Chains A and B, each alone.
Chain A
Amino acid sequence: MAVERFPIEAGHIMLFARAIGDPNPIYYDPERAIAPPTFVQASAQFDPDYGLRPQIGRPWFGSGKTPSGLQRPAPSEGSSESRGERRGGGGGTGLHAEQHYEYHRPLRAGDVLTASTTAGKRWEKEGRRAGKLVFSESVTEYRNQDGELVVTARSVGVRTERAVEQ
């Protein structure tokens, strides 16, 4: 599981800043844009096998003629499943449980990152609001064009047995 080329583009930073509602001018300056702290999450755009993006010519699990185009559950965000290896299983929903970043150096427009992800622990727990919970951890290292570590991201995804009670 890897993203071989994640170019940090000023226009992409601008769109991301708009989406999180952040008017900080540094995100809108094409000459000196730096990336917001959670920006590396958008490396999904550059993962050819990302499971939470419709793939051209393939069925998608969101609604169209029917409420879902597939009879299998959504992969969970942050888990290894969201990175292309979908698994079947009995209903429930994939959710993002935790996200942790360590910042080693600033990330700027013009940098080109590579991301390599390794699967971490996997554990189960009985939840009060959503039945059995299956957690899976992954660690992604983002390195720049000089091979320097820029961000380390640890992500935990959870698959719930049923929808979380509100």
Chain B
Amino acid sequence: MTLKASELKEGQTFEAVVVENLTRTQIVQYAGASGDYNPIHTDEVFATQVAGYPSVFAHGMLTMGMTGRMLTDLVGDGRLLRFGGRFTSQVFPGDDLTTTATVEAVHEGDEPSVELKVSTANQNGVEVFSGSAAARIDP
């Protein structure tokens, strides 16, 4: 997909489901790929008995990675200029996550770009990632 500055409006929103029923196995996959083997994410015994959580929970960076997929699907490959945010709540196995990107500003001219507010929420409407992004777009 390619966004065009001439077709974007402030306040416009885009939404995508980024995961349904997150599995412990996907969290293990992320640990293996990223190299972050913190047992709080993959070791139920450690997470519950040592760390005091109800179960293992996802890496914040898995949530951000899935959120990033929504953004690259929206703006295209290699077009992001910035992407960042805060991890506002934990993501647990079984969660469904939806990412919403809202157009905050459109810059036309020689190097057109868009600024987006980015929010990912779980099935209960609780925000788990709150951030922003900017991307190069077409005129």
Interface residues of A (CB under 8 A from B): 12, 15-16, 18-22, 24, 26, 34, 36-38, 41-45, 47, 50, 52-54, 60-63, 67-68, 74, 77, 93-103, 106, 154, 162-164, 166
Contacts and interface: CB of A to CB of B under 8 A. Distances in A.
7 contacts: A15-B33, A20-B66, A37-B65, A43-B35, A53-B37, A67-B46, A106-B78
A74 B37 CA distance: 11
Contacts of A74: 38-40, 51
B82 interface: yes
Nearest to B36: A52
Given A42-B35, A50-B35, A52-B37, A102 B81 contact: yes
A86 to B, nearest CB: 12
A97 B86 contact: yes
Contacts of B8: none
A45 B26 CA distance: 18
Contacts, number: 156
B77 A34 contact: yes
Given A74-B51, A99-B84, A99-B85, A24 B77 contact: yes
B131 to A, nearest CB: 8
- For the side of the interface on B, what is the size category? 35 or more
A103 B79 CA distance: 9
Contacts of A67: 45-46, 49-50
A166 B73 CA distance: 32
Interface in B1-37: 18-19, 26, 29-30, 32-37
A98 B26 contact: no
Contacts of B85: 98-100
A52 B54 contact: no
A108 to B, nearest CB: 9
A141 to B, nearest CB: 15
Contacts of B100: none
Given A18-B29, A74-B38, A77-B36, A99 B61 contact: yes
Which 3 residue pairs spanning A and B have beta carbons closest together? A100-B84, A62-B39, A163-B52
B68 A61 contact: no
B43 interface: yes
Contacts of B84: 98-101, 154
